[in-house]
């Protein structure tokens, strides 16, 4: 099958999907947006080497009115036709209108579009705008099938955007083995003391304040236990002084490069995901690829992936004492940590293998839409007449921001 993947966001995820599909026999072309496109080519060039994989990178320009944006958009449409694509997969839409426009134009030529949705609602701290939801809904309505990474996400998405459940397919998010191919990484000494890592963009829903409360508890009971916080974001800026006042907390308040990420994972003993709200978690899959046990909260689709007691430990969100106890349990028991390490690595190589289970399930969705079994009405595919009214879109917007507004009200 000939597949074209569009990734205006979620580039690392999308490239791994493309590589997995190519390794399973499909002919795949992918266009990755900035800045990930250039970074992937620079950091993991050997990962991209496959005769069935064609890699395109888009560029960023300082002005939104730069004519090169339009020319690049037209270029992506041309690449889709030059590849003789049978299916177009929007694997990372981000906040750009381009994926929606690509989907609606391509649909006019009878090429089915599949879209992966990573989040079913806005997170606390996200910049929720009505126009973003409008573009997103039009992308969804012009897609023949929707892929999500958890049953909980599928249920919320169907409810929030009023989507026919038969149009939504649940496929696990694959591993993050791409980082194991980083050409600039080197050998690192493993941690000599229990070390927990929180990595990612530091937004409000990541639960940084909960982890800091847990770090205080841990320090009073096991002072040698280290907590490493790596990434950028408003929450880390807000709590940076508190972080520096905790003797067992180490902060990397910066953009984390491929090689930085590799170093941090080799030098930790566990990964912490203390989210107060979430759909899924990329750091969870990164931890699995590096064979690291995970302590996470029971939010979103995380419990569908992380097996309590086997791959790590699950705790209630917003509970620093329970989080601290779970971290101490793994930190004090090297045998348990090693057992969990073996389990997560096996899962990364099995159920979360891109070229195995993930490619097979994704290929089945492609066959489904090519056989015309998808849910798509004529009004949905019309370029000039959106299916939803303004009132319907506003209702979807309110449902998508319900948890965000609830969190702000309770916090206030």
**Quick one: average pLDDT of 279-287?**
94
**Quick one: average pLDDT of 349-356?**
95
Does pLDDT of 403 surpass 70? Answer: no
**Quick one: average pLDDT of 56-79?**
82
Residue 335: strand, helix, or coil: helix
Which comes out higher in pLDDT, residue 387 or 251?
Answer: 251
- pLDDT for position 72: 86
Residue 286: strand, helix, or coil: helix
The model's pLDDT over 316-327, given as tens digits with 9 standing for 90+, comes to 999 999 999 999
- Percent of the chain at pLDDT exceeding 90: 67
- pLDDT for position 121: 78
The model's pLDDT over 357-369, given as tens digits with 9 standing for 90+, comes to 999 999 999 999 9
Q: What are phi and psi of 183, to 5 degrees?
A: -75, -15
Alpha-carbon distance 352 to 363, whole Å? Answer: 15
- pLDDT for position 127: 64
Alpha-carbon distance 214 to 327, whole Å? Answer: 9
Q: Where are the beta strands (DSSP E) in 149-245?
A: 168-170, 195-199, 226-230
Of the candidates 245, 205, 246, 207, which has an alpha carbon nearest to the alpha carbon of residue 227?
246
Alpha-carbon distance 345 to 14, whole Å? Answer: 21
CB atoms near residue 151 (< 10 Å): 12
Give every CB contact of residue 243 below 8 A, 6+ residues apart in sequence. 212, 229, 236, 249, 251
Which comes out higher in pLDDT, residue 388 or 49?
Answer: 49
| pLDDT band, very low/low/confident/very high, at 407 (cuts 50, 70, 90) | low
- pLDDT for position 384: 42
| pLDDT band, very low/low/confident/very high, at 406 (cuts 50, 70, 90) | low
Q: Tokens at residue 126, please?
A: 């996200």
- pLDDT for position 96: 73
**Quick one: average pLDDT of 181-194?**
82
Which comes out higher in pLDDT, residue 410 or 263?
Answer: 263
Alpha-carbon distance 320 to 342, whole Å? Answer: 27
Which comes out higher in pLDDT, residue 139 or 189?
Answer: 139
Does pLDDT of 126 surpass 70? Answer: no
Does pLDDT of 134 surpass 90? Answer: no
**Quick one: average pLDDT of 206-214?**
96
Does pLDDT of 385 surpass 50? Answer: no
**Quick one: average pLDDT of 253-281?**
93
Alpha-carbon distance 120 to 257, whole Å? Answer: 28
* Weakest mean pLDDT among 45-49, 116-120, 339-343, 390-394: 390-394
- pLDDT for position 383: 44
- Eight-class DSSP state of 177: G
Q: What are phi and psi of 157, to 5 degrees?
A: -65, -45
| pLDDT band, very low/low/confident/very high, at 261 (cuts 50, 70, 90) | very high
Q: Is 193 left (phi over 0), alpha (psi -120 to 50) or beta?
A: beta
Name the helix (H) or strand (E) containing 324: helix 320-331
- pLDDT for position 412: 45
Quick check: 6 and 89 in contact, CB under 8 A?
yes
Average pLDDT, the chain: 89
Does pLDDT of 274 surpass 80? Answer: yes
Domains by residue range for the chain, with CATH:
2-174+354-407 (3.40.50.2000), 180-349 (3.40.50.2000)
Which comes out higher in pLDDT, residue 376 or 207?
Answer: 207
Alpha helix (H) residue ranges in 44-144: 67-82, 98-108, 130-141
- Eight-class DSSP state of 311: T
């Amino acid at each position: 099958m000939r597949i074209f993947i569009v990734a205006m966001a979620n580039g690392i995820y999308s490239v791994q999907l493309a590589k997995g599909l190519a390794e399973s026999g499909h002919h795949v072309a992918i266009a990755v947006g900035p800045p990930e496109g250039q970074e992937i080519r620079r950091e993991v060039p050997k990962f991209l080497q496959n005769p069935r994989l064609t890699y395109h990178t888009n560029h960023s320009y300082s002005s939104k009115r730069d004519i090169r944006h339009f020319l690049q958009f037209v270029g992506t449409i041309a690449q889709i036709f030059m590849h003789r694509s049978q299916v177009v997969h929007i694997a990372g839409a981000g906040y750009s209108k381009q994926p929606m426009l690509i989907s609606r134009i391509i649909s006019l030529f009878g090429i089915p579009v599949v879209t992966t949705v990573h989040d079913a609602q806005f997170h606390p701290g996200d910049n929720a705008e009505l126009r973003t939801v409008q573009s997103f809904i039009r992308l969804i309505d012009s897609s023949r099938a929707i892929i999500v990474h958890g049953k909980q996400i599928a249920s919320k998405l169907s409810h929030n955007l009023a989507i026919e459940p038969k149009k939504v397919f649940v496929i696990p998010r694959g591993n993050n083995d791409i980082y194991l191919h980083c050409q600039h990484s080197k050998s690192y000494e493993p941690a000599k003391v229990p070390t927990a890592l929180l990595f990612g963009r530091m937004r409000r829903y990541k639960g940084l304040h909960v982890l800091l409360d847990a770090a205080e508890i841990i320090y009073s009971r096991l002072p040698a236990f280290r907590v490493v916080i790596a990434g950028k974001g408003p929450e880390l800026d807000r709590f940076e002084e508190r972080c520096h006042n905790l003797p067992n907390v180490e902060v990397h308040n910066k953009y984390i490069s491929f090689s930085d990420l590799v170093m941090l994972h080799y030098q930790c003993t566990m990964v912490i995901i203390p989210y107060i709200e979430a759909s899924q978690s990329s750091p969870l899959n990164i931890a699995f690829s590096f064979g690291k046990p995970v302590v996470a909260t029971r939010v979103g689709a995380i419990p569908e992936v992380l097996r309590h007691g086997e791959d790590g430990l699950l705790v209630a969100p917003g509970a620093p004492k329970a989080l601290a106890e779970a971290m101490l349990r793994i930190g004090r028991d090297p045998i348990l940590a090693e057992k969990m390490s073996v389990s997560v690595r096996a899962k990364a190589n099995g159920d979360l293998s891109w070229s195995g289970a993930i490619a097979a399930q994704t290929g089945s969705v492609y066959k489904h839409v090519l056989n015309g079994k998808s849910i798509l009405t004529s009004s949905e595919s019309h370029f000039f007449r959106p299916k939803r009214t303004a009132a319907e879109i506003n209702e979807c917007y309110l449902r998508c921001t319900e948890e965000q507004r609830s969190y702000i009200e309770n916090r206030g």
